[in-house]
Structure formats: structure tokens, C-alpha cells
């Protein structure tokens, strides 16, 4: 039974690790399309500061959580997620979505013209 558990453990580890590596590789070599990731689609601009702050917050929060996992004294338990992390992630999402919603309302009420193609 322990051999079965070990084999299954390695299988899942290898699968998740290789899948993550393949996706990261394809993102870096642009086989996965990343065009327009920073584009302000609501206003037609090439760059959106709201998206940049959300990207930074997402990357930072993910990296910090991975560090918490590896630095945890009890590896068999999840580490405590700080409330500040939730606030940062939630706040950055709120700023991003708020900007999108505001731009949509402006376009719906005709305050700002739709973006040119």
C-alpha cells in the first residue's frame, strides 16, 4: 500500500510540475497568446495602469503564498493566510473591476465615445 501511495504521489507531482513548466514555457515563448494583456479594452488604449497594478498584486500574492507554504513549520497543514494578503488581492481586483465598470457606465450613458478600432 505504501508503494502504491508513493507511486501515486510521484505521478501527481510530475504531472503538476511538468504541466506548470509547459505553460510557463509557452507563455514566455508566446505560444500562448498574451497580446493585449495590458491593453485597456474598455477605452481602446494600449496600456492600462489598473491592469498593471493587478498583475503586480497577483504575482506578488502568489509568490508570497508559495513562500509561506515552504517556510511553514508544519508542512502537513496549510499556513495561515494573513488578512493583509486578502486585502491586497481583493483591493487590487476591486480597483481593476471598478475601473472597468466605470468605463462601461460612461460609454452606456454616452459620456465617453466607444473606442476606435
Interacting residues with another protein (CB under 8 A): 1, 4-5, 7-9, 11-16, 18-20, 22-23, 26, 31-39, 41-42, 44, 51, 54-55, 58-59, 61-62, 65-66, 69, 75-78, 80-81, 83, 85-86, 89-90, 93, 96-97, 100-101, 103-104, 107-108, 114-115, 117
Q: How many CB atoms lie within 10 A of CB 42?
A: 19
Q: Please, which residue, 76 or 111, has the CB nearer to another protein?
A: 76
**Residue 2 · residue 8 · CB < 8 Å:** no
Tell me the C-alpha distance between 98 and 96, whole Å.
Answer: 5
Q: Please, which residue, 58 or 111, has the CB nearer to another protein?
A: 58
Minimum separation from the CB atom of position 10 to another protein (A): 9
**Residue 99 · residue 50 · CB < 8 Å:** yes
Minimum separation from the CB atom of position 93 to another protein (A): 4
Q: Please, which residue, 83 or 111, has the CB nearer to another protein?
A: 83
Amino acid at each position: 500500500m505504501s508503494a502504491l501511495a508513493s507511486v501515486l504521489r510521484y505521478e501527481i507531482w510530475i504531472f503538476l510540475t511538468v504541466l506548470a513548466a509547459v505553460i510557463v514555457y509557452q507563455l514566455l515563448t508566446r505560444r500562448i497568446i498574451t497580446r493585449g494583456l495590458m491593453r485597456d479594452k474598455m477605452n481602446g488604449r494600449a496600456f492600462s495602469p489598473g491592469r498593471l497594478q493587478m498583475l503586480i498584486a497577483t504575482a506578488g500574492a502568489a509568490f508570497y503564498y508559495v513562500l509561506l507554504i515552504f517556510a511553514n513549520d508544519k508542512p502537513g497543514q496549510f499556513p495561515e493566510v494573513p488578512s493583509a494578503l486578502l486585502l491586497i488581492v481583493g483591493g487590487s481586483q476591486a480597483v481593476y473591476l471598478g475601473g472597468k465598470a466605470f468605463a462601461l457606465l460612461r460609454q452606456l450613458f454616452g459620456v465617453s465615445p466607444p473606442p476606435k478600432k
